[in-house]
Chain A
Amino acid sequence: MATKKSPEKSNVSKDELLSYYREMLLIRRFEEKAGQLYGMGLIGGFCHLYIGQEAVVVGLEAATKEGDKRITSYRDHGHMLACGMDPKGVMAELTGRIGGYSKGKGGSMHMFSREKHFYGGHGIVGAQVPLGAGLSFADKYLGNDNVTFTYFGDGAANQGQVYETYNMAELWGLPVIFVIENNQYAMGTSVKRSTKSTTLFGRGLAYGIPGEQVDGMDVLAVKAAGEKAVAHCRAGNGPYILEMMTYRYRGHSMSDPAKYRTREEVEKMRSEKDAIEHVRDLLVNAGLATDDDLKAIDKDIKAIVNDAAEFSKESPEPPVEELWTDIYA
């Protein structure tokens, strides 16, 4: 395969690599299926696929412990699957059915799981940044050592509230990791067309927040950076910024023709930097797994995704009474 990563850069175990492979593949197949269901009219409205960015959430989840929280934008399916939410419940929310995580009332962009400490799924660009800092404010107030992963994109990185939040997060020493998923396009506007800054994490330095840029297509590099950031936060040193250099293969949403970049650019990323192929190479080249082993995983994943799709079609629409429930707690 075409990735140029060296397998010896980390002495990670076979089981670990296999689990990354499996989790990233689940996200990719799930998203492909979601795209298909969208095309069939079973998923409505906006649907933002995570294909290409899988290594970011899978690598960072590997650095978490129970109690840690996560919050993100509307490109959220990958985060939910990576933190262990049930693919059936996620897919059924996409189809707007009662079996979805929000009983069909939130949709693709607005899903939550208290049980898995996943706090959304937010449709307003940048809004999740202070919200995530607020979750970490609560943890600090309550005196536990939980950390909140607050994900946002390169587009949100230009929102004013991000910097209001940086200022307070550092001022108050909040245990929050700001994860900038820099997929290089804010809808159709490339980073170069939206800022003169050469890095996005570097803006945190003005507020005293350390950070770094990470190869977000390399799950091992992501995990290593995540562990460093988590250690910083848990030790009570305040926030940390991780700028994940990543790439989405699909359009911004299902209705984006993606004319702002060339097909060659996308193809190049897919063939040279693909996160899943990278791990596959590590496994195969080191003799840790055979093609047959990986095929068996592919088959498992396909079955999980098909079950989720089946569930999302069979689960009924919410009963009409649901129109009037959950307005107030």
Chain B
Amino acid sequence: MAIQVLMPALSPTMEEGTLAKWLVKEGDTIKSGQIIAEIETDKATMEFEAVDEGIVGKLLVPEGSAGVKVNTPIAVLVEEGESADASPATAAPAPSAAPAAAAAPAPNYPAISAPVETKADTTPDWPAGTAMKTMTVREALREAMAEEMRANDRVFLMGEEVGEYQGAYKISQGLLDEFGAKRVVDTPITEHGFAGIAVGSAWGGLRPIVEFMTFNFAMQAIDHLINSAAKTNYMSGGQLGCPIVFRGPNGAAARVAAQHSQDYAAWYSAIPGLKVVMPYSASDAKGLLKSAIRDPNPVIFLENEILYGRSFEVPVLDDFTIPFGKARVWREGSDVTIVSFGIGMTFALDAADQLAKEGISAEVIDLRTLRPIDYETVIASVRKTNRCVTVEEGFPVGSIGNHLAAVIMQRAFDYLDAPVVNCTGKDVPMPYAANLEKLALITTAEVIEAVKSVCYR
């Protein structure tokens, strides 16, 4: 039975090409795999191999022909004694040009798709009357890990100096003694390698917590955080979720200069498939880290060295978690909404205190998680105060504040009495000199100034 040979697509973008040269002539017997023609694509001259075997009955397109569309019949193969003029079988049927019906249009801004009416979740994080104790963020993080490791023997901690050294920042102090070297794994200084091993171990049934000594070093490993951990559940059609926590200090500490002082909040928050947490208080550090360890997805947990030693009230509860995607309103107010997260909350709350003395009532929202973001609480607040200032330590371009400004514009445009202002770190690598470092970082004074500007004061 005669078989049509079709003009092949030989690159991901090829729609037509030049049939540069025939390497066979009519009457030749060819076998599967034999090179029968040279075809010029947009990129290169390619050898074209026969898929089927047979006798070349007819060359339909002469060599030198340019602009031959993909899937045009270019030759006919026949069997012994068969005529090329016999109507060729459709052994290689041309594909339908558009295999699917026109796709339904995707929503315009699906990442923030939500009912237009906002319904902020204002339930308290713990029952009224719960006993509280004072605890540093460091202690809270350690308690969260220890509790989850006690509860699930598949949870383990891995990283540089987490074991015998007791943690570069002492977050893992005591864990080696309690859980042993099998579950508190000291690694060589090889972020790329151990991040990949941790992701593989999560696919293999474990629940790794990976400590980066700082998130600056995670840039060595970022391919595994994004390409391996975040994308594989999607790429596998839901077969391969990756329950893993990457945690460690993020952002500027003090006088460690540009390579050790970057806030990655906006970078990781840009990636579908990741969850991103950036706690401020000790109770959030504990409740959110416990949620992160239980989450079936990769979680980027951004801590802050300066906050490690700060003390907060933490509820005394057997099993205390904070859900992702629920912001916390630290202070209610009526004149302006200040949205922040992580160490930015220090400046947001300071500014609110001082502004109150000047008669400006600021509502202060701690996002706590950046993916998912609790848009509802932000939008509800902005619809009430009609003004918004965002505060973060990261770079200004492509910041979380930029994103919030866009969302607020889409969902609360008619409520705004002033443009949203983003307070961020400066658009410079972090300088070492004490005076310049101070200028590069966000300050309470800048937040106050921004609030006054949106209040036209």
Contacts and interface: CB of A to CB of B under 8 A. Distances in A.
Nearest to A146: B204
B41 A255 contact: yes
B203 A134 contact: yes
A181 to B, nearest CB: 19
Interface in A127-151: 127, 129-139, 141-142
A120 B232 contact: yes
A135 to B, nearest CB: 4
A208 to B, nearest CB: 14
A35 interface: yes
B204 A32 contact: no
A317 B237 contact: no
A121 B240 CA distance: 12
Interface residues of B, number: 71
Given A32-B32, A39-B9, A137-B204, A329 B297 contact: yes
Interface string B230-242: 0011111111111
Interface in B1-21: 6, 8-12, 14
B419 to A, nearest CB: 32
A324 B35 CA distance: 43
Nearest to A316: B100
B196 A119 contact: no
Nearest to A129: B196
Interface in B93-130: 94-95, 99-100, 103-104, 106, 110
A138 B239 contact: no
Interface string B20-48: 00000000000011010000010111110
Contacts, number: 212
B92 A255 contact: no
A326 interface: yes
Contacts of A42: 95
Contacts of B273: 327-328
B70 interface: yes
Interface in A61-92: 69, 71
Contacts of A111: 236
In this complex, which of A33, A104, A168, A313 has the most chain B Cβ atoms within 10 angstroms of its Cβ?
A: A168
B187 interface: yes
A-side interface size class? 35 or more
A184 interface: no
Contact of A35 (B51, B92, B197, B205): B51
Interface in A254-300: 254-259, 263
Contact of A106 (B99, B198, B237): B237
Contacts of A69: 204
A35 B204 CA distance: 33
Contacts of A44: 12
A39 B237 contact: no
Contact of A142 (B205, B233, B297): B205
B71 interface: yes
B272 interface: yes
B199 interface: yes
Interface in B292-330: 296-297
Contacts of A133: 196-197, 200
Contacts of A139: 204
A40 B201 contact: no
A137 B201 contact: yes
Given A40-B71, A160-B192, A132 B6 contact: no
Nearest to A326: B238
A138 B92 contact: no
A326 B241 CA distance: 9
A29 to B, nearest CB: 9
Given A168-B188, A257-B44, A329-B297, A41 B95 contact: yes
Interface in A1-58: 32-33, 35-36, 38-42, 44-46
Contacts of A130: 192-197, 199-200, 224
B202 interface: yes
A27 to B, nearest CB: 15
A103 B14 CA distance: 25
Contact of B46 (A134, A160, A257): A257
Given A255-B11, A257-B47, A313-B95, A134 B202 contact: yes
Contacts of B192: 130, 160-161, 164
A171 interface: yes
Interface string B214-252: 000000000110011000111111111111000000000
B182 interface: yes
B453 interface: no
A105 B231 CA distance: 11
Contacts of B237: 100-106, 112, 326
Given A110-B236, A127-B227, A316-B100, A138 B204 contact: yes
B235 A329 contact: no
Contacts of B9: 38-41
Contact of A328 (B95, B156, B233): B233
A139 B154 CA distance: 11
A235 interface: no
Contact of A141 (B11, B14, B43, B206): B206
A128 to B, nearest CB: 8
A270 B227 CA distance: 36
A189 B204 CA distance: 34
Contact of B6 (A40, A100, A323): A40
A134 B206 CA distance: 10
A123 interface: yes
A111 B9 CA distance: 23
Given A138-B205, A317-B99, A45 B236 contact: no
B238 A325 contact: yes
B190 interface: yes
Given A102-B235, A161-B193, A327-B272, A134 B201 contact: yes
Contacts of B206: 137-138, 141-142
B233 A131 contact: no
Given A32-B51, A102-B237, A110-B232, 5 more contacts: A35-B49, A41-B70, A133-B200, A141-B201, A255-B10
21 contacts: A41-B71, A102-B237, A112-B236, A121-B235, A122-B228, A124-B227, A130-B193, A131-B197, A131-B224, A137-B204, A164-B193, A165-B193, A254-B10, A255-B12, A317-B100, A324-B110, A327-B233, A327-B272, A328-B241, A328-B296, A328-B297
Closest 7 CB pairs of A and B: A134-B200, A138-B204, A130-B196, A164-B193, A329-B241, A39-B8, A255-B11
